[in-house]
Amino acid sequence: VAERAIALGMTVLAYDPFIATDTAMDGKVRMVRPFTDLLPQVDVVSFHVPLTDETRGLLNSQTFKLCRKGVLVVNAARGGVVDEEALVEAIDSGICGGAALDVYTTEPPPADSPLRRHPRILCTPHLGASTEEAQQAVSVDAAAACLAYLRGEGIRGAVNAGGVRVDLDPTQRAFVDLAARMAELISPMITRGIASVTIEVAGTQLSPAAGTIERTALVGLLKSHLDTPLNVINIGHIAQQRGIRTRTVTVEQEAVEVPQLTIEVQGPPGAVDASTPAADRTRRIVGRVYDDHKPRVVEINGYRMDMVPAGSMLLVQNEDRPGMIGLVGNVMGEAQVNIADMSISRRPTDGKHTALMVLKLDAEASDAVLEQLKARPGIIKVAKVMLPPEPNGD
């Protein structure tokens, strides 16, 4: 879309919290952060994002007020990114000049939906790659790639696969699994983009797995934020495209008593404002694997603990004051969600103590339960994560 717009002589601005550079596409696209700073500068807004908690309702009744009068809206990403009721109101009031949609909150939109009959809204089916031509092109490309491999011409489309190993011993495989769980556990806490990722692998026997651990961690960090299918083959190229600096440090001294993995994510300086200290833009998680080969998290953002990350999990950061554990327990109990395990830790923040509860649940907590928790006094942040079941440790 950007290439076509540039070819037509348009000036293209873009917002993406996971691109840490000031420009993209060899300087042809200027990056703007945050999203609200983009809206007053553009005549057309086109969305190309997955539907997540961060992107739901990006364009709504409040953000429409920041737009230029007559702005045009294109949503071919996911239904729900644009608030449909707010869109109709913005068009009727003259704030929005019109919209083109091929995704909807309910697909297809109901027969009586105002989207269907509004003279300034163009609605089309969401076909994507389901057309006959697209399916044929994908099949031909896949067959050509297989033939090239069988002729000994290499694997076409495998980007930056160096360093990925599959011949790992049980301890190394356990740390690869730990890397995935740690990254997915901390990913919801990353809401303002990624400038750099530092991975520290401590323990002589882990060095051969460092490359695989790095790529596995990057996939876990980014997959909930991007609509692109990610794997250990393409993740290095995708991170590089988005200006994310990645560094893996191996500590091989024999003095390392217990092998340990640390993932540290640094946000961009402009994520909040230029004066935000680096420490406040950092997310850090530390894990270990003991003789039972089960993954354990021993620290999250300075909160120390010892827990096996598995299954349905809930992270609750709160003010450290009496009654908070009971408050969370009551909300879970009223929702008939059983708490199977809980880890609690606290630390001082700006002179005040805060605590982190990491809950393992027998069933996933609904979004409505999360909203109830967020609305309670003393609750700072709430996030849920679904991880694989606990490994048997064999």
Question: Annotated catalytic, 126?
Answer: yes
Nearest to 52 by CA among 218, 231, 188, 256: 188
Catalytic residue among 30, 56, 120, 126: 126
What is the distance in angstroms between the CA of the first residue and the CA of the last residue of the chain?
49
Amino acid in position 325: I
Question: Annotated catalytic, 252?
Answer: no
Catalytic residue among 78, 181, 225, 242: 78
Question: Annotated catalytic, 214?
Answer: no
Q: Can you tell me the distance from the alpha carbon of 212 to that of 16, in angstroms, rounded to the nearest whole number?
A: 27
Catalytic residue among 3, 107, 153, 334: 107
Long-range contact set of residues 167-170: C-beta below 8 Å, sequence gap at least 24: 168/208, 168/209, 168/212, 169/205, 170/293
Q: Supply 236's token pair.
A: 């290095």
Q: Can you tell me the distance from the alpha carbon of 69 to that of 43, in angstroms, rounded to the nearest whole number?
A: 8
Which residues are the active-site residues? 78, 107, 126
